[in-house]
Structure 1
């Protein structure tokens, strides 16, 4: 009990009338509740600690009774029934109330009066459940439960006063010779419907409360609300479910509205957090209350101007009704509504046909056997049937004729559809009953024996309620560590029926107990706003593959520009934040949405360039062979025999090899072709240059031999010439051997020259080896060129030194230009440049040295005489 400490509740109410709820809790509620706990006096009706508070010992007092003054002005409950244990109930029963004095609405000074049929049904459902329990032989046998149902008027002050009333209990007298009060103990409270009144009253009533519809996630905090339980799921689950629903349909740009209450604000806060995790952006988030017309108009204007086509409404029915009325007054573009369980099942809102297609979560439908018949047995007003029991001259209503059937009357008190919230009220009563049963009853010989005289304390029932686990009418009832049930929702959709009216259709479910990503399921087709196809609600259209998102400055993450992927990168799915690079052997297609293998490039035999080079190479070899044939056929003529015909044939042989070695550069590089092409090129060219060098030395020595007293030719005869060629060539063979043994060339894929293709080429292995081979050839060519220049003016009609000079000049020019061209040429053109240098230098040698001789042999045979060749003119 709470006892008055010198001030009336009206005076106290007047002091806190303008306070915020949080301040009200801090200033008044917490100290009161803590005071009760410190005095070890539980509001369940226990007498422990009473002496400390009143100074009276009930057991030893001389007076026959002790009177105690309760808090506040006493009001009788709307419905009550005595019992061994009493369940208190706070319910909204009245509406359209204008309160003129804090704490007195619903009792005094109200202007209009009407019944909330739904909460009236809730109260009678509680009566029905208690009647069932009292008649049960298994649950609380021999125990009679009572109830006290108080009005709350949906007003926090009235709910507070009703909570005090429940705390005061019915009796004011404690008898000397009795250990129990006149009426039964207050065991628990079925809480006020709204979250805000529940938050307030849970502090005032230190016995525990079970709510059937207070869904605020904040009430799951057992540090603040250790004695609060509920049979309705926490909004924390619904918020996650709503976010998953929005994400399921691909809506990333939404508007959000909520009631300016603990239910709406906490629910919306949880939803926004869950939406952020799902990558959903919110264009606007507004809260309002039904008593704020200007704010309602502002929210309606937000919705009308919004670019988001999906609106998530976490509101109570009252707020949603006034908002929809405001939207209906001035037609606005259609919106896809996503609703919380508070309003989505309200049939009174389904008259707003522009909300067709609304989707939301609802408490699962169920049935309570016998409840409908119980409600039908209750007496209702004559107004139910729009008739009078007797003729009244002041009204035109007809006289009732006795044929009126209550079952045919549509009303919220007796619903025609399966029950939702009503079942939660029913479960709350049974949960309390099972908790009391586990405390006061002991199972003996398969039957339960209950002690109705047991001094029941709230803590006992509280501990028992945490362990409650039973099934009623096929529906399980239990609580987790936070006092919440398993979160199961139906997914409902507003669909237009055959009659043209909006009907509520179940299209799926959400079960938080299922594995992750399997909680949400849709098993029926949905109707969308205006009966159209599924709406798209995005700030920016999806970025197609081949592009990536770049956020727009100062806007949410769902607003972005679609930028093509950079070179070499792709995006193969929509809405990627970054493109990614293809594997090294792949390259993006032109659309940049997939990676294709890079083309492998090398000097293929089927290319035009390769074919031309091959033909020229084979043609040069044939030309060398043909020249050798001409020389062999005229081998006895002076022009062939002059200057060592043996070296001429060896030179033609080496030139043939030079022409043919260029073929090794054509085709896909292999391990053997890479080693062969460079070594064959190096050795054959040195053989060629050594022959030319030998011929040049012979010319010079022949001139020296004509001088008086000279005997130099004996040192440069045919054996010496052969030895010179072998030695010079052996040096190149040795260089190539060392190169091939230590670090030979090998085939490789070149990814660096071109990003979009692969160059298949021969890696040099050792660059020193390659440049050593090339340098040795160059050294011989320069030396040969110098000797040829020295011998170019010797007095002869056919001065071969001049021809060698021209050939070496061409050779050196070709290879000097080859070096920069080789280094700078990309890909397969590097190979083409090398082939061109081989062919050009080879043709330079054969044309300069052998073409003039062949011309004389074939076209001017009269000059092919010793006399002509020796003639110095």
Structure 2
């Protein structure tokens, strides 16, 4: 037996209202299942009560919008709008059939023919499901009839070229995916599950989202597919399969589930949860998950889910098409009466299913209570019907107004488009649907709710999404709370917004932010370490190595502290380094400063003694002027050590080494001049000696000035080429910044020390040779001891200086200055002070001559 087009499936439900121009619509109110198809007869459809009462608001929003436009004569004057609504039943075959019915006469399906009673169809709205909408677009595109879909749809490769007459009263899905990722990243949810329908759209949703998740370091811990509503009873998934999926979802440790909320996916998900609660004998409310729903989510239940609790969805988040309160719609619903709806084949079934009653004329002996028709829509639970316009109803409402605004422009510019008038009325018989297409594509309009709507270049709504938090109550009511949004038209970086404080989480979370991670986060002081064979969201926590820290949770790598900071022992933060320099307030600095001042006072005392006794033989014996010069230079040596104490400054750095080098050179030059004077004086006493002309102040002064001038020249070259400067050593000590003076030129620094050492060795050598010369007040012995001390100190200084850091390095140099200066002072002048103060009898000419005679 062959089935022809004259044997269409007899689906009874439609809603028709006359008008000069007709707007078609394909909605989803009920479900159909086909019986097993024998080969000897045509397939027959079996109606099943898969009724979703809330979807009837889609019909009412269209009725309300058409009524509003027809009552406003400023929009399309003298032209009335009508509509013709069919149900899609989520079935491709029935959708194709009913789409063809919209293109045919009212009571017959004769496509491609113009009949007398042919409706003047100008546009079509629908459908709810992606596949249904694209099924319609394939047919309507042939006739160039504009179609406006009102729900989220599968993306098309090139909408503009493939479906030029296809519009969507929803934003681009790319913004939805981006919003989901931004939401997960905001709450640091990286271990999430995905639930989608087991069809092409669900597969596309899974593939797209998983790819985006991977790029943003989010792991897909759970992937589940819900069965689609089948065409045959045998292919419907068994109860065992449903239970297996429900148990897997409920028992998983995944707290956050992203759901592609296609109507049939949500229906099966609800059944899964319900069966699981019965199997485990638990309350649905105890299943604590954070559900993130896509735009198709409308928090609606089918009539067969009447007894199922909705508390499991408490605290859910969904991305919703923006909607607003439409003035007059609530009153329209309050005044709604089923007996007044002529031509509406949906209202009776909706009323009976929603209020669980039966009209008397169709009771057929059933025990359900009778429908009076006086029941109030506002008394229905929110899962069955809402008095506030839902997102999808709002999209249908805007779609009707978009069509009316296009008609308004056609009427306004009718001479340009040669639309014929008939007795003052727009001749609707001559209006072609393709004329509306031009205006829809470029139109921007404001609806009665105050929102601005327009289509972009791809025929999609140029807007974003609202983020809704769903708060449920035990009496099957709920609240939708806007907590954020995804607006692609905002400034870069401000597209995503969320108000955490406004979110109500599932009761089991006790208003604590739910966690969605594979394992506990790594605390500060640790970094993430990949687990072999596990997804990248699963990791171990490894302590930070020495010298590095992590100051946040879940850091991929530990970080080095800035140069002026060092890691805390817990390696969770950086602490400021202490400045390391020899301070006047530190015990070591105080001690050294005290020694320097003490030795300076002793030197002043010795100088005072020598000045007071300057005419005595012991003072005059070894060049009184050199003695005073040596004491003054030793005084300056003690005082110059103070330049090394305190925080280094540019001036102090310039003076430290140069002043030390020049002053010490003067002191050593004085010692050298004294020693040479002693040797020459002895040689001059020999008969016939020619050395007498060299004995005197002139030679001593020449030695002093000549040796000092060479050191001064070296220091001048040093300061003019590469002078010392303040420096900060960040690395030598882990917890301290060494503040000091950098020599600038190490070569010049060691030239100063080398020249000073050369003079000291020469002085030591000459003094050593002259130590046994017969002279009552011969200083050579004392100079020999003093220079031995001096050379010993500075020979030990070099390795000690190079092996220490920070303030201790400076302390070594200060100690060397003080020790060497004190050695000269004590070895040369203390014996003389002993004679001057305690043995003044030895300080006389007689004693001098007596000692000379003995020799």
TM-score range, shorter chain: 0.7 to 0.9
User: How far apart are the structure 2 equivalents of 1:374 and 1:441?
Assistant: 37
1:227 and 2:165 are equivalent in the alignment:
yes
Q: Deviations over 1:417-473 (max 9, x none)?
A: 22323444454445445545655786699x97311331x544333334324554554
- Kindly indicate whether the alpha-carbon contact (under 8 Å) linking 2:454 and 2:461 is maintained by their aligned counterparts in 1: yes
Match of 2:128 in 1: 193
Query: Shift in Å at residue 713 of structure 1?
Result: 3.2
Match of 1:256 in 2: 194
Q: 1:351 aligns with which of 279, 300, 309?
A: 309
User: How far apart are the structure 1 equivalents of 2:596 and 2:19?
Assistant: 118
Match of 1:802 in 2: 781
User: How far apart are the structure 2 equivalents of 1:511 and 1:104?
Assistant: 55
1:318 and 2:267 are equivalent in the alignment:
yes
User: How far apart are the structure 1 equivalents of 2:600 and 2:244?
Assistant: 94
- Kindly indicate whether the alpha-carbon contact (under 8 Å) linking 2:359 and 2:372 is maintained by their aligned counterparts in 1: no
1:307 and 2:273 are equivalent in the alignment:
no
Q: 1:335-346 counterparts in 2 under 5 A?
A: 335-346=289-300
TM-score of the pair, normalised by structure 1: 0.78
Match of 2:376 in 1: 407
Query: Shift in Å at residue 845 of structure 1?
Result: 2.1
User: How far apart are the structure 2 equivalents of 1:600 and 1:104?
Assistant: 99
- Kindly indicate whether the alpha-carbon contact (under 8 Å) linking 2:446 and 2:452 is maintained by their aligned counterparts in 1: yes
Q: After alignment, is 748-757 or 306-315 more displaced? A: 748-757
User: How far apart are the structure 1 equivalents of 2:675 and 2:198?
Assistant: 109
Query: Shift in Å at residue 779 of structure 1?
Result: 1.5
User: How far apart are the structure 1 equivalents of 2:584 and 2:40?
Assistant: 104
Query: Shift in Å at residue 640 of structure 1?
Result: 4.8
User: How far apart are the structure 1 equivalents of 2:548 and 2:743?
Assistant: 31
User: How far apart are the structure 2 equivalents of 1:333 and 1:123?
Assistant: 34
Query: Shift in Å at residue 311 of structure 1?
Result: 1.6
Query: Shift in Å at residue 336 of structure 1?
Result: 1.9
Match of 1:866 in 2: 848
Give unmatched runs, 5+ long, in structure 2: 229-235, 342-346, 416-420
Q: Classify 1:415/1:496 alpha carbon distance in 2 versus 1 (closer, same or farther; 3 Å).
A: closer
Q: Classify 1:327/1:835 alpha carbon distance in 2 versus 1 (closer, same or farther; 3 Å).
A: same
Q: Classify 1:298/1:681 alpha carbon distance in 2 versus 1 (closer, same or farther; 3 Å).
A: same
SS state at 1:97 partner: strand
Q: Deviations over 1:347-373 (max 9, x none)?
A: 556714233222324453645364652
Count residues in correspondence.
802
Match of 1:451 in 2: 427
SS state at 2:805 partner: coil
Query: Shift in Å at residue 309 of structure 1?
Result: 1.5
Query: Shift in Å at residue 162 of structure 1?
Result: 3.4
- Kindly indicate whether the alpha-carbon contact (under 8 Å) linking 2:226 and 2:269 is maintained by their aligned counterparts in 1: no
User: How far apart are the structure 2 equivalents of 1:414 and 1:666?
Assistant: 86
SS state at 2:714 partner: helix
User: How far apart are the structure 1 equivalents of 2:386 and 2:622?
Assistant: 126
User: How far apart are the structure 1 equivalents of 2:381 and 2:674?
Assistant: 126
Query: Shift in Å at residue 544 of structure 1?
Result: 5.6
- Kindly indicate whether the alpha-carbon contact (under 8 Å) linking 2:297 and 2:318 is maintained by their aligned counterparts in 1: no
- Kindly indicate whether the alpha-carbon contact (under 8 Å) linking 2:29 and 2:51 is maintained by their aligned counterparts in 1: yes
User: How far apart are the structure 1 equivalents of 2:82 and 2:512?
Assistant: 52
Q: After alignment, is 761-770 or 585-594 more displaced? A: 585-594
Q: Deviations over 1:377-428 (max 9, x none)?
A: 2484896675785999977677x6x977333774999945223234444544
Query: Shift in Å at residue 580 of structure 1?
Result: 5.5
User: How far apart are the structure 1 equivalents of 2:166 and 2:220?
Assistant: 33
- Kindly indicate whether the alpha-carbon contact (under 8 Å) linking 2:299 and 2:383 is maintained by their aligned counterparts in 1: no
- Kindly indicate whether the alpha-carbon contact (under 8 Å) linking 1:796 and 1:872 is maintained by their aligned counterparts in 2: no
SS state at 2:428 partner: coil
1:792 and 2:771 are equivalent in the alignment:
yes
Q: After alignment, is 764-773 or 563-572 more displaced? A: 563-572
- Kindly indicate whether the alpha-carbon contact (under 8 Å) linking 1:601 and 1:760 is maintained by their aligned counterparts in 2: yes
SS state at 1:826 partner: coil
Q: Deviations over 1:793-821 (max 9, x none)?
A: 44678764333322222222222222222
TM-score of the pair, normalised by structure 2: 0.79
Q: After alignment, is 419-428 or 73-82 more displaced? A: 73-82
1:727 and 2:706 are equivalent in the alignment:
yes
Query: Shift in Å at residue 533 of structure 1?
Result: 1.0
**C-alpha root-mean-square deviation of aligned residues, in Å?**
4.6
Q: 2:664 aligns with which of 664, 668, 685?
A: 685
Match of 1:108 in 2: 44
User: How far apart are the structure 1 equivalents of 2:388 and 2:42?
Assistant: 31
SS state at 1:223 partner: helix
- Kindly indicate whether the alpha-carbon contact (under 8 Å) linking 1:509 and 1:521 is maintained by their aligned counterparts in 2: yes
- Kindly indicate whether the alpha-carbon contact (under 8 Å) linking 1:795 and 1:872 is maintained by their aligned counterparts in 2: no
User: How far apart are the structure 1 equivalents of 2:823 and 2:188?
Assistant: 74
1:533 and 2:511 are equivalent in the alignment:
yes
Q: 1:334 aligns with which of 288, 293, 309?
A: 288
Q: Classify 1:542/1:221 alpha carbon distance in 2 versus 1 (closer, same or farther; 3 Å).
A: farther
Q: Classify 1:688/1:165 alpha carbon distance in 2 versus 1 (closer, same or farther; 3 Å).
A: same
User: How far apart are the structure 2 equivalents of 1:842 and 1:720?
Assistant: 25
Query: Shift in Å at residue 792 of structure 1?
Result: 3.4
Q: 1:506 aligns with which of 442, 456, 481?
A: 481
User: How far apart are the structure 2 equivalents of 1:120 and 1:747?
Assistant: 83
SS state at 2:162 partner: coil
User: How far apart are the structure 1 equivalents of 2:361 and 2:712?
Assistant: 135
Match of 2:807 in 1: 828
Q: 2:460 aligns with which of 466, 476, 484?
A: 484
SS state at 1:506 partner: strand
- Kindly indicate whether the alpha-carbon contact (under 8 Å) linking 2:441 and 2:455 is maintained by their aligned counterparts in 1: yes
Match of 1:285 in 2: 223
User: How far apart are the structure 1 equivalents of 2:614 and 2:540?
Assistant: 84
Q: Deviations over 1:631-690 (max 9, x none)?
A: 556666665554445544443333333333323322333444334333332333233223
User: How far apart are the structure 1 equivalents of 2:213 and 2:701?
Assistant: 92
SS state at 2:639 partner: helix
Match of 1:44 in 2: none
- Kindly indicate whether the alpha-carbon contact (under 8 Å) linking 1:196 and 1:261 is maintained by their aligned counterparts in 2: no
Q: Classify 1:457/1:701 alpha carbon distance in 2 versus 1 (closer, same or farther; 3 Å).
A: same
Q: 1:183 aligns with which of 102, 112, 118?
A: 118
Query: Shift in Å at residue 218 of structure 1?
Result: 1.0
